[in-house]
A and B are shown apart, each in its own frame.
Chain A
Amino acid sequence: MDELKNIAPELSKLEKVNPFRTPDQYFDDFSARLQMRIEAEKQTVVPQKNRFIQFLKPALGLAASFALIFLLVYVPLKTFMPGQENTVAEVTETEDLNLMNVIEHLDESSFISLLNGSDYNTDFTEEDLTLYVSANFNDYEIFENLDN
Chain B
Amino acid sequence: MPETDQKIIADLKDAGKRDLAFHVLVKTYQERLYWHIRKMAMNHDDADDILQNTFMKVWRSIDSFREESSLYTWLYRIATNESITFLNSKKKKNLMSLNEDNEYLMDNLMSDPYFDGDEIQIKLQKAILRLPEKQRIVFNLRYYEEMKYEEMAKVLETSVGALKASFHHAAKKVEKYIRNTD
Encoded as 1 (CB less than 8 Å from any B CB) or 0, chain A from 30 to 53 comes to 110111011001000000000000
Interface size, B (range): 35 or more
Q: How far is the CB of B170 from chain A (nearest CB, A)?
A: 9
Interface of B is mostly: helix
Encoded as 1 (CB less than 8 Å from any A CB) or 0, chain B from 97 to 136 comes to 0000000000000001011111011001100000000000
Q: How far is the CB of B19 from chain A (nearest CB, A)?
A: 8
Q: How many residues of A contact B (CB 8 A)?
A: 27
Encoded as 1 (CB less than 8 Å from any A CB) or 0, chain B from 30 to 54 comes to 1100110011000010001001100
Stretch at the interface among A7-15, A66-74, A110-118, A123-131: A7-15
Considering only residues 54-82 of chain B, those with a C-beta below 8 Å from chain A are 55-56, 59
* Complex contact A8–B51 (CB within 8 A): no
**Which residues of B sit under 8 angstroms from A8, Cβ to Cβ?**
171-172, 174-175
**Which residues of B sit under 8 angstroms from A132, Cβ to Cβ?**
none
What is the bound-complex CA distance between A34 and B13, given in angstroms? 19
**Which residues of A sit under 8 angstroms from B30, Cβ to Cβ?**
27, 30-31
Considering only residues 126-162 of chain B, those with a C-beta below 8 Å from chain A are 143-144, 146
Which of the residues A19, A31, A37 comes within 8 Å of B117, measured between beta carbons?
Answer: A19
Interface of A is mostly: helix
**Which residues of A sit under 8 angstroms from B10, Cβ to Cβ?**
none
* Complex contact A38–B59 (CB within 8 A): yes
* Complex contact B114–A22 (CB within 8 A): yes
Which of the residues A9, A14, A16, A30 comes within 8 Å of B26, measured between beta carbons?
Answer: A30
Q: Can you give 25 contacting A-B residue pairs, CB < 8 Å? A: A7-B168, A8-B172, A8-B175, A11-B171, A11-B174, A11-B175, A16-B144, A18-B144, A20-B38, A20-B39, A20-B112, A21-B114, A21-B115, A22-B44, A23-B44, A26-B48, A27-B34, A30-B26, A33-B52, A34-B26, A34-B56, A37-B52, A37-B56, A38-B22, A38-B56
Could you tell me which B residues sit within 8 Å of A by CB distance? Answer: 22-23, 26-27, 30-31, 34-35, 38-39, 44, 48, 51-52, 55-56, 59, 112, 114-118, 120-121, 124-125, 143-144, 146, 167-168, 171-172, 174-175, 178-179
Could you tell me which A residues sit within 8 Å of B by CB distance? Answer: 1, 3-4, 7-11, 14, 16-23, 26-27, 30-31, 33-35, 37-38, 41
